[in-house]
Each structure stands twice: as C-alpha cells, then as structure tokens.
C-alpha cells in the first residue's frame, strides 16, 4: 500500500494531513491547517482504516496477537492524527465553520467506528485469541489489553444479533449528533450573556484589578464601561466582592440558566433525549442501566458502590454546609440586611466570613500567584520529584496564538515530549480546564513515538500593566492539569490501546494539588509580582488555618452534581425524562439546601455529555486515592525521590495498561484508606 506521505508529496496545494509533519518534534503544523482540510483528511483516514482492517480480516492464518491485534492497533493512525487536532480545535478555538464540520463528521465517525467494532469477523478473530490466550506468550500489558479489548467489544455490541446491531448503530449516530449540539449550545449561551455596567456605583466593593479586567472586556466587545461574563475568572470575583446584591443575582442566574432559556440554544429537550437514548442503548446491550454498562470496567464496578460512597461523604458534608450557611446568615442579620441568604449570595458572604474568621481574603493572596511563577513552581516540583526539565520552544507551531510550548527532557537530556499550555478564556474556547494529547506514547515498528501533550485552562487574563494573577483555586487547577500532563508524558505504553479506569484517572492530577500550598513549595514560587518578596509566613499560616474553610459548600455542591449524573445514568429504558422536573425532584430527594445549587445543572453539565457520564463521582473517588497516596510522600518527605520514582514507575508509566487497584497496591503496599480524604476536607 502506498502511504499518504508518499502519494501526496510534491502536490502544489497539499493537505497538511497527507504528508509527514515537517515541524519540530513532528507536532501538527497548526499554522498550515485550514478548515477545508479536515473533511478530506477524515475521509482519507476512515478509508485507510477500513482498508487496513479489511486486510487483517482477510488473513486466513490462525489469529494471533501479531497478525490481528497489532495491525488493528495501527490501523487508524491517520484517522487518529486528524481527529486529535480537529477535536482539540473545536474545544479551544472553534468557529462556525468548525462547528458545521463537527455536525457533519460526528455521525459519520460514529458509523465508521461501528462498522469496524460490530463486524462479526473481527469479533470472531479476537475471540479465538482470547479463548486461547494461555497459549500465547503475552506480556502483562498485552494480556491486559486483550482482556479489555475483548470485553469492550462485547459492551459495544459485537456479540449482538444483526438486527440489534443495526439498531445500535442508529442509536450511536443520534447520540453523536446530540452531543455536538449540546456542547455548541452551552458555548453560545456562555458567550451570549454580558453584564454591562456604566455606573461607577455598581462597582462598589470590587478590587481595582477586577475593575480593570472588566474595562478591558468591555473594550474588547466594543462596549462602554465595564463588562462581566459567565466565564468563571470574570464571574467569581464579582460574586465575591460586589456589594450590589441585585447584580450578583443577575450574573449568577445567567450562569445557572445557560441553555435553559427556551431559545434556539435550549438544551432541556435534547438533554432528556440523550439520557433516554443511553438507557435504550444499555438495555439493547443487556444491561440494567447505562450506569451498569459504563461502570463494569471501572474500580466502582456497579452503581450501588458509587451510591454507597457518595452517601458516606454526603452524610458528613451536609451538616458542615448547614453550619457554614448559618454562620453567614448571622453576618447578614448582624448587618441588619433583612434577607435570607440566597445561592447567589454565598461567595460574597463566604468571603466576609473568611475575613472575619481568618483575616484572609482572596485579593490578599493573588499578588503572590502570578501565572508565570505558578507555572515555574509546578515545573520545579516536577524537577525535584522526577529530575525532568522544561525548556521553552519559540520556533514551533502552536494551536493558538495564546499557547506556549515547552520541550520536556529527562535528567540525562533525553527527550520526553512536548507540552503546550493555553491559559486564558476566549469566546472560541469552552469553559473549564482539561489536558489532552495530540500524540500519545507508543512503540511503532520498533521506534519510540514520544507524546505531544496540551494543557488548556481559563485563567484570569492579564490586565493593562498587571500580569495574570491567579486565585488559589486557579493555582490548584494549574497543578491539577499538570498532573494529567505528567501522566501522559511519562506513559510507557507500547501500543495505542489504553484502558484507564475512569475513576482512577484523577489520581495523577489530584495528587499534584497537594504540593501547591506546602510551605516548602510556596517558598519556591509564591513571589509578589511587584516587589519580588516571598510570601510571608503569616500569610502561609493563615492559608493553613483556613484550609477547611467552605469545604462543606464545595463538597455538597460537587456531590449534588454527582447524584444528578448517577440519577440520569440509572434511568431505565423507556422512561421519558422531563429535565427540569427530574432535576428538581432529585435535589429535594437528597435534601440539598436551597442556599446551594448543584455545581452543574442539567442543561450545561457537559462532563456527562461525553466522558464523565456515570463518572463525575470520580473526582472524590480518586480523592481517597490521592490523599492516601500523598501520605506516602509526607511520611518520607514531600520530595523523596524513592517515593516519586515508585509513583512514576507503578502508576504514571503503567496507567491504562494494568489493573487500577493492582497499580495502587504496587505503589502503596496496600489498598487505599478513606480517613485521610475525610480528614483533609475537615469532615472527620
């Protein structure tokens, strides 16, 4: 077969995806890729994968790992290459053209994937290998991949009769289209709301840095005065400091009602439809609910175990959140304000309570958390733990003009991978923070393919002469995503196939958050952006004393979203879902207090549209793991190299190619214990 690179070299107007990437470290040539390149590249990728799969299916030799699994693993390399770029761009730098392409290509990709996964010839070949696996000299990694590949095919319908396979394909395609639309609607609603202020009196209570950023936002939108949006770096400081209760309520209500405004971007009907389709799909596959289907390969195994975990934490956290509410109500009453605390008031009075109890507020900390210093702090921690270094690369294509790139190297100078960082909000980027890969580690034809990783955030942007100053939460988010990046950079997978237990996936990220506020680490990076002075000991002590502050709220609003996810995922097939009624009934059932709104409401809960469905609980599930694991570092010193090397070898390098609990026990010497998690949240 002639490769794409060979067949298209020399063409005048070449599609970048049809040639080798002639760039540093063979990263995607972002500056050359245009919207019109994607559809042809997707079509070529699907065509090549079909040809490659057909070739291995036509092989009349007895199926083996080498003649079936290996070529299957390599069959879609061209499709992976375009997909990794396209879907990253639709999340970070989308536009109407890309959204139209996404709507067109998503059902085609779903159909293409089903054509391969549901081909009975493929299942029979893999079944032969699986049934005779003891006769093959497989490595531990290969055995793990084979087990998960075989069971994964069954969970995706490979063993269904033909008529049910056709129905499954229909469901998969409709689900794929719904997911695109739901995401696009939330982005449109997020971009569509702007709180425009022209009266200086409406700015009372806001720090100067927040006001300056709002003025720049207004200017960028060709508006007068000051503008606040539902992007969290803009919204949260307003909710924390604005003395105008009506405006706080207006902004917060705009946030919690995104895609719930009975307009062209309303998600209620399609969200309900998505959950109904998933329930029908699970029933077709022989599972009681969607949750039973997706949890089977995870650590939790079944919904009952998730609910047992959630209930245990909820019982501890709900009383704490009520105490926090009562303390804030006392402040309101003491001031003679004459109203009951509302959900939109929480951040404002929590900030007052923190100031009252700990003499600490967010604006006092921000000057010590300049973005560059926090980034350098994360790099320093990784260097002290693992010996790796990060060197800025200037002359390299970047996925957006805002992004920066670094080469990651081992202590001996060996190349580890490339890391992109994209820090600030823009209208073309979805909310939140995440880590992804443009290329994952693997061994291909005996050659090591090194990873290209991207971290995407939505942090407070620079304003005028003032650099980007992060909140404590944003600093933790940077370390969190950096943990995901290290997981991808350190991967030692031999093949493209990787099967990470989704409720284990947050361990590498969440454990990194523990270093953020360690006094030894703060002294490395927390420098005042104007004076260069180290963060003073009294501020560190205040941070330590306030570490349990507002944990009831943060845990309860998070758990409410977990319950919402699980409720939608455990709906039986054939049940019609009225989204507003379903959500309201559930919140009443679990006893959520009215002063707290679920961290995500149904219409903008994009985690469960794709990826974290029946899996949002994973952050706290992994919280048990990361707190217990960090204890191992604390016992020997937070930079103990032996412990770090064990964590890298047993978890970061093996993640996705070994059983999750087995990895953890290999590192810790025992299964995880929950006490550290509850204690560090102030719930024990």
> Is residue 399 within 8 Å of residue 93, measured between CB atoms?
yes
348-351 contacts: CB < 8 A, separation 24 or more? 348/239, 348/240, 348/241, 348/242, 348/245, 348/248, 350/240, 350/324, 350/549, 350/550, 350/553, 351/240, 351/241
CA distance 365 to 388: 29
pLDDT bracket for residue 3 (50, 70, 90): very low
| pLDDT average, residue stretch 556-569 | 98
Which of the residues 481, 513, 583, 595 is marked catalytic? Answer: 481
Q: Which fold has domain 4-159?
A: 1.10.1370
Q: What is the pLDDT at residue 684?
A: 85
Q: What is the pLDDT at residue 9?
A: 37
Q: What is the pLDDT at residue 8?
A: 40
Cα–Cα–Cα angle for 290, 579, 583, rounded to 5 degrees: 85
> Is residue 483 within 8 Å of residue 511, measured between CB atoms?
yes
Query: Please, which residues bridge with residue 228 across strands?
Result: 195
pLDDT bracket for residue 322 (50, 70, 90): very high
Q: Which fold has domain 268-360+551-616?
A: 1.10.1370
pLDDT bracket for residue 361 (50, 70, 90): confident
Q: What is the mean pLDDT of the chain?
A: 96
| pLDDT average, residue stretch 548-565 | 97
Name the CA dihedral angle for 616, 593, 556, 501, rounded to a multiple of 10 degrees.
-20
Q: Any residues with CB less than 8 A from the CB of 163 and at least 6 apart, and which?
A: none
CA distance 511 to 333: 40
Query: Catalytic: 394?
Result: no
pLDDT per residue as tens digits for the range 271-302: 999 999 999 999 999 999 999 999 999 999 99
Tokens matching residue 601: 């409401």
Tell me the residue length of the chain.
Answer: 684
CA distance 541 to 90: 43
3-state SS of the chain: helix, strand, coil percent to 5? 60, 5, 35
- Name the segment(s) of the chain with CATH classification 1.10.1370.40: 4-159, 367-545+619-680
Tell me the CATH number for domain 367-545+619-680.
1.10.1370.40
pLDDT per residue as tens digits for the range 38-92: 999 999 999 999 999 999 999 999 999 999 999 999 999 999 999 999 999 999 9
HSE (side-chain half, CA atoms, 13 Å) at 135 = 8
pLDDT per residue as tens digits for the range 415-450: 999 999 999 999 999 989 999 999 999 999 999 999
Determine how β-strand 404-409 pairs with β-strand 415-422. Answer: antiparallel
Distance of CA 526 to the CA centre of its chain: 26
pLDDT per residue as tens digits for the range 153-209: 999 999 999 999 999 999 999 999 999 999 999 999 999 999 999 999 999 999 999
Examine the pLDDT at 526 and tell me if it is beyond 70: yes
User: Closest by alpha carbon to 160, among 193, 118, 113?
Assistant: 118
pLDDT per residue as tens digits for the range 444-499: 999 999 999 999 999 999 988 899 999 999 999 999 999 999 999 999 999 999 99
| pLDDT average, residue stretch 584-612 | 97
The residue written with tokens 């790139």 in the block is 405
- Name the segment(s) of the chain with CATH classification 1.10.1370.10: 268-360+551-616
pLDDT bracket for residue 6 (50, 70, 90): very low
Q: What is the pLDDT at residue 10?
A: 36
pLDDT bracket for residue 611 (50, 70, 90): confident
Examine the pLDDT at 546 and tell me if it is beyond 80: yes
pTM: 0.93
> Is residue 600 within 8 Å of residue 607, measured between CB atoms?
yes
């Amino acid at each position: 077969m002639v490769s794409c690179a060979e067949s298209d070299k020399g063409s005048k107007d070449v599609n970048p995806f049809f040639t080798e990437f002639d760039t540093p470290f063979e990263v995607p040539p972002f500056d050359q890729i245009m919207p019109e390149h994607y559809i042809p590249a997707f079509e070529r990728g699907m065509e090549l994968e079909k040809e490659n799969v057909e070739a291995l299916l036509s092989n009349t030799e007895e199926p083996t790992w080498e003649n079936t699994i290996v070529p299957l693993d390599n069959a879609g390399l061209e499709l992976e290459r375009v997909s990794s770029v396209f879907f990253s761009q639709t999340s970070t730098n989308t536009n109407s053209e890309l959204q139209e392409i996404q709507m067109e290509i998503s059902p085609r990709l779903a159909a293409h994937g089903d054509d391969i996964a549901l081909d009975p010839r493929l299942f029979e070949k893999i079944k032969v290998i699986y049934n005779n696996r003891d006769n093959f000299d497989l490595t531990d990694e290969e055995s793990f991949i084979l087990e998960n590949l075989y069971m994964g095919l069954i969970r995706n319908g490979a063993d269904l009769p033909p008529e049910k396979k056709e129905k499954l394909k229909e469901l998969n395609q409709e689900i794929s289209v719904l997911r695109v639309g739901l995401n696009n609607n939330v982005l449109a609603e997020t971009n569509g709301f702007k709180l425009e202020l022209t009266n200086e009196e409406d700015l009372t209570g806001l720090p100067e840095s927040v006001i300056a950023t709002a003025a720049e936002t207004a200017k960028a939108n060709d508006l007068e005065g000051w503008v606040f949006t539902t992007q969290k770096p803009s919204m949260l400081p307003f909710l924390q400091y604005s003395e105008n209760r009506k405006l706080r309520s207006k902004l917060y209500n705009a946030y919690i009602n995104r895609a719930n405004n009975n307009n062209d971007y309303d998600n209620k009907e399609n969200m309900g439809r998505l959950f109904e389709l998933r329930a029908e799909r699970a029933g077709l596959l022989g599972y009681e609910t969607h949750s039973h289907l997706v949890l089977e390969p995870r650590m939790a195994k079944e919904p009952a175990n998730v609910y047992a975990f959630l209930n245990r934490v909820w019982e501890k956290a709900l009383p704490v959140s009520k105490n926090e509410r009562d303390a804030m109500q006392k402040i309101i009453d003491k001031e003679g304000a004459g109203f009951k605390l509302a959900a939109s008031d929480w951040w404002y009075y929590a900030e007052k309570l923190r100031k009252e109890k700990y003499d600490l507020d967010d604006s006092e900390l921000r000057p010590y958390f300049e973005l560059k210093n926090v980034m350098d702090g994360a790099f320093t921690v990784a260097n002290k733990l693992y010996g790796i270094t990060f060197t800025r690369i200037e002359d390299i294509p970047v996925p957006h003009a805002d992004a920066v790139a670094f080469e990651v190297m081992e202590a001996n100078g060996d190349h580890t991978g490339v890391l992109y960082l994209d820090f600030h909000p823009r209208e073309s980027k979805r909310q939140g923070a995440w880590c992804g890969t443009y290329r994952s580690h693997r061994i291909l034809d005996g050659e090591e393919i090194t990873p290209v990783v991207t971290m995407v955030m939505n942090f407070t942007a620079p304003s005028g002469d003032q650099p980007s100053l992060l909140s404590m939460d944003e600093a933790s988010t940077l370390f969190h995503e950096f943990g995901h990046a290290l997981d991808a950079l350190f991967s030692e997978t031999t093949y493209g196939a990787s099967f990470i237990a989704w409720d284990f996936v947050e361990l590498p990220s969440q454990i990194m958050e523990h270093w953020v506020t360690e006094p030894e680490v703060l002294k490395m990076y927390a420098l005042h952006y104007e004076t260069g002075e180290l963060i003073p000991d009294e501020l560190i002590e205040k941070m330590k004393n306030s570490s349990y502050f507002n944990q009831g709220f943060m845990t309860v609003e998070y758990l409410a979203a977990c319950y919402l996810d699980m409720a939608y995922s455990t709906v039986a097939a054939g049940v019609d879902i009225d989204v507003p009624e379903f959500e309201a009934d559930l919140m009443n059932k679990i006893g959520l207090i009215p002063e707290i709104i679920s961290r995500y409401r149904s219409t903008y809960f994009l985690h469960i549209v794709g990826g974290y469905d029946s899996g949002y609980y994973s952050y706290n599930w992994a919280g048990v793991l990361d707190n217990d694991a960090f204890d191992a570092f604390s016992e020997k010193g937070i930079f103990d190299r032996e412990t770090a090397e064990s964590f890298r070898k047993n978890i970061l390098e093996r993640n996705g190619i070994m059983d999750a609990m087995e990895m953890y026990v290999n590192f810790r010497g025992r299964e995880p214990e929950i006490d550290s998690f509850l204690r560090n949240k102030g719930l024990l």
